[in-house]
Amino acid sequence: MSPADQSSKAPPSQRWLRIIPVALVMYTIAFIDRTNISLALPRISHDLHLDPQQAGNVAGIFYWGYLALQIPGGHLAKHWSPKKFISILLVAWAICAMGCGFARTYHEMLVLRLLLGISESGVFPATLILLSHWFSRAERARANAMWLLCLPGAVVISSPFSGWVLDHWNWRSMLIAEGSLPFLWLIVWLITVQDHPGQAKWLPAAEREAIVATLGAESKDLETATGESYLRALLRPQVFLLAAVYFCFVSGQMGLLFWLPSAMGTFKGMSGLSTGFLFTLPFIAACIALILVGRHSDRARERRLHAAAAMAFGGCCILLAVATISYSLVLAFAFITLSGVGAYGPMGAFWAIPTETLPAKIVGSVMGFVNALGNLGAYFAPLLVGYLNKRTGNFFSGFVFLGLVTLAAGALSLWLKSASSPDDFRAGLAAFIGKNVDCRGSRKDPDRSRQRFRKARRPCSADTLRRRSRCTSRRHPKRCHRSGRPGTGE
């Protein structure tokens, strides 16, 4: 019995209760130290005399440093140790994050934000590799989604606290206090996490053997299916398409994250605390979407359409917010809240694709490469929104750009190939909405339904074809199962 089957019939495994929470808190701290500047940006701009374009530079320079260790970090995590590598980075980014609180000039802040980006750059691909060591394909979108709750969760947790600190102290106190958190979590990380299930003495022997065997078989399948060289495998079109999708996706996500507090600050009468609370609403929606989309993606065994649909929904919501803000501020903010679905909901399904379609020897480097190029969008998008704000005097055109680039990410996602999604678009759509490609529509055992479909296809009458319109055979579009048992006729 596979680990996925066991987890569906038994209490939650210790893998889920031990690895996921520790990794989640670790990356929550990283994301807080990366993004807490967004709430403080208006006050930093005032104290350091920054114009909107310079403020966008301060927010976005992090992501040039974020390029540094993406590919080496993924490679080191795969071939050395994700636990040891992340431990080193915890110390490095704590020093840089606290240093930002002592910056006195625009250029000092730029340098420290750049160094913070370098220090955090290897954490994301290394953690994805760690999760791929602990969770099989059938569990991976859920595992990724539960871990990636740290992204919107960090905003939900830190925004009210950061707003309170800003109201009672200042932005320097906020950056220093939140920058010290990695030192505290380093101890928990070293005690709790192991690189592989085979090293975990706390895991029951039967489960340990089952997950090691399952992961070994999956890795072997990918290796034997591809005899390419390392460089050729790294230069696949799929890799560059993943990077393009992630670039557009992150542009919309991080542009919204960095500029939404400043856009809300243009409305009079809002304190730092109230801005912090309202700022969390899109990210609460994002937390819910992450879990639901990841769970449904694993259940349907489909990745591409789940990612594309969530991105498209988020982009439409941003555009609708811009269109309705002149009529109703409440309605516009409701659409901004719903845009959180597109800002984070696709991530569990999206990041399951590389580990399911690429051989183990390159998957760490590929995820680092995709994350590195994709996160350049987090530099250019805040910078462009700042430029448009300076040129037009408002955020309307900047937020239109964020909506359109998120829609572009959804459109590009439709071209991705996923090991778990059928090549045929109609079959993928059937999986996305929870219906099997088998004309009988059994949902209990998709694999068995597909086997019955392959073994028995017989001509149907016109009435039967109309009733059984879900048939997806591309060679015989007018042929289908009969409504009775396969091979027995009606």
Q: What is the pLDDT of residue 148?
A: 87
Span 399-416, average pLDDT: 94
In whole numbers, what is the pLDDT of the chain averaged over residues?
80
Contacts of 17 (CB under 8 A, 6+ apart): none
Does residue 452 surpass a pLDDT of 60?
no
Of 30-44, 119-133, 151-165, where does mean pLDDT reach its minimum? 151-165
| CB proximity list for 353: less than 8 A, separation 6 or greater | 242, 303, 304, 307, 416, 418, 419
Domains of the chain, earliest start first:
13-221+232-426 (1.20.1250.20), 445-480 (no CATH)
What pTM was computed for the model?
Answer: 0.70
pLDDT at position 310: 95
Quick: pLDDT tens for 214-262. 888 877 766 555 556 667 767 788 889 999 999 999 999 988 887 887 7
- Lowest mean pLDDT across 162-176, 353-367, 405-419, 473-487: 473-487
**37-51, 337-351, 359-373: which has the highest mean pLDDT?**
337-351
User: Is the pLDDT score of 457 beyond 50?
Assistant: no
- Per-residue pLDDT, averaged over 313-325, amounts to 94
Q: Read off the pLDDT of residues 411-431 as tens digits, 9 standing for 90 and up.
A: 999 998 766 444 444 555 555
pLDDT recorded at residue 267: 66
Strand runs (DSSP E) across 335-480, as ranges? 458-459, 479-480
**450 contacts 440 by C-beta, under 8 angstroms:** no
pLDDT (mean) for 4-11: 48
pLDDT of residue 483: 42
Instruction: Report the b/e string of 78-117 with b at 16+ CB within 10 A.
Output: beebbbebbeebbebbbbbbbbbbebeebeebbbbbbbbb
Q: Looking at residue 254, what is its pLDDT?
A: 85
- Say if residues 341 and 310 touch (Cβ distance below 8 Å): yes
| pLDDT, average across residues 168-186 | 91
Collapsing DSSP states into helix, strand and coil, what is residue 441? coil
Q: Which of 48-62, 166-180, 264-278 has the lowest mean pLDDT?
A: 264-278
